[in-house]
Structure 1
Amino acid sequence: MVSSTVNVVRYTALFSGVFYGWYHLRTLKAEAAKSNIDSASHHQQKLIAEAKAAWKQKQERAAGASPSEVISDPEHPAFDLEKLLTSWDKTS
């Protein structure tokens, strides 16, 4: 027969291990959730920075359009008659 002291030590070790496992799993899940949130935030900031850079390039291209960049070929798919007439009006 096993003494009661040995049973107390066994069950104390068992419940301590279960409690430690639960606490450790909870800690790991919290760290993983925080890591996912940080990763998503970083990805969103990266996308915003890329969008701002693309918008800035688009604005610079639109503002820097000179008469020499106007397409005068009516067969070209990007031909714009209004831009062509405006450029001719500015040069006259």
Structure 2
Amino acid sequence: MVSSTVNVVRYSALLTGVVYGWYHRRTLQADADHHKVQNALHHQEKLVAEARAAWKRKQEAGGDNVVTDPEDPRFDLEKLVASWDKRS
């Protein structure tokens, strides 16, 4: 038969281990959540930077601003043909 002191020590150790495990898992999960949020923010910043760079390249490359839609009131066939001649 096991004495009551040994049982108290056993169950105290078990309870301490369960509480420590719960606390440790909670801190690990908080760190993982924080890391996940930081990665998402970094990815979003990267996408915004890429979009800005693409927009800047588009603005620099499209200096002639030729309207290619024939339904647009600013459409000019001569400018369109001239821009095609420049490209080729």
Q: TM-score of the superposition, structure 1-length normalised?
A: 0.70
Structure 2 counterpart of 1:40: 40
Q: What are the ranges of 5 or more consecutive residues in structure 1 without an aligned counterpart? A: 71-79, 88-92
Alignment of 1:1-92 (within 5 A): 1-63=1-63, 65=64, 81-84=77-80
When residues 82 and 44 of structure 1 are mapped into structure 2, their CA distance, relative to the original with a 3 A threshold, is: farther
Residue identity matched to 1:83: K
Cα deviations across residues 37-89 of structure 1 (Å, max 9, x unaligned)?
Answer: 000000000000000000000000122x4xxxx8xxxxxxxxx72524788xx
- Aligned-pair CA distance for 1:18: 0.3
Q: What are the ranges of 5 or more consecutive residues in structure 2 without an aligned counterpart? A: 67-75, 84-88
Q: TM-score of the superposition, structure 2-length normalised?
A: 0.73
Q: 1 CA distance for matches of 2:48 and 2:78?
A: 33
RMSD, aligned CA: 2.2
